[in-house]
Amino acid sequence: MELIFATNNKHKIREISDLLDNRFNILGLADVSITDDIPEDADNLADNAVYKARYVHERTSMNVFADDTGLEVNALNGAPGVHSARYAGAGRNPDDNIIKLLKQLEGITNRKARFRTVIALIFNNREYLFEGKVEGKIIQKRKGTGGFGYDPVFIAKGYDKTFAEIPLSEKNKISHRAQAMKKLLEFLAQQPVSQ
Ligand code: ITT
């Protein structure tokens, strides 16, 4: 089954390919010659994900899913949230984002945070939403070199290592995206194979 994952983020494609069985052939945006930077201007994750999926569906008529993820920090009233990618500016630089986050949390003891992912799927012209989240905390200083984005400063509940210190296989057991993907996969598994 061919399915477009509407992302340019190679890390995400790798994470998801790791989760999928070989019934699915995942195509990235580059595979369908979409090079546009699809706007993510909505004020919530679901609307951004739906917008991206519709954008690609209108141009390809193929089954497609898109995700949007945010890091929600309790002490910052849910920020950076939907603005996670551009938290420190339009450059979308993960190192700058982490520096800003740690600065905002200086002196704050409540470090509770969660990653939340919303996936929008357009399948046979119908729209579906799937959500996953992982609770945890933001540490004081970055640790680890794996993962991407905010991974070096996020420790999931019940763990003592950051997402950048644990293997991808471990992150994929519990992560926000893995949980949303699991719901997507359960849905797809129920669809006839010919789709
Ligand atoms: P696309 O929009 O092309 O899919 P993106 O990197 O912009 O890729 P998101 O908008 O979903 O991805 O991500 C928002 C921000 O959250 C961005 O700064 C990411 O680096 C970060 N992020 C997303 N998933 C993450 C994860 O699993 N671990 C750490 N940070 C993550």
Take residue 167 and report the two structure tokens written for it.
């293997």
Is 93's C-beta closer than 6 angstroms to any atom of ligand 1?
no
Q: Is the pLDDT of residue 39 over 80?
A: yes
pLDDT tens-digit readout, 74-84: 999 999 999 99
Number of C-beta neighbours around residue 48 at 10 A: 23
CA 149 to centroid of ligand 1, rounded, Å: 6
Nearest atom in ligand 1 to 175's CA: 27
The separation between the first and the last C-alpha atoms of the chain, rounded to the nearest angstrom, is 7
Give the mutation target among 26, 47, 69, 166 for probing the ligand 1 site: most ligand atoms within 8 A of CB: 69
pLDDT tens-digit readout, 111-128: 999 999 999 999 999 999
Q: Is the pLDDT of residue 195 over 80?
A: no
What's the gap between Cα 95 and its chain centre?
A: 17
Class for the domain spanning 2-189: alpha beta
Catalytic residues: 68
Is 132's C-beta closer than 6 angstroms to any atom of ligand 1?
no
- pTM for this one? 0.91
- pLDDT band (50, 70, 90) for residue 193: low
Give the closest residue to 135 by CA, choosing from 83, 179, 76.
Answer: 179
Q: Where are the domains of the chain?
A: 2-189
Q: Is 21 exposed, middle or buried (0-12, 13-18, 19+ CB in 10 A)?
A: exposed
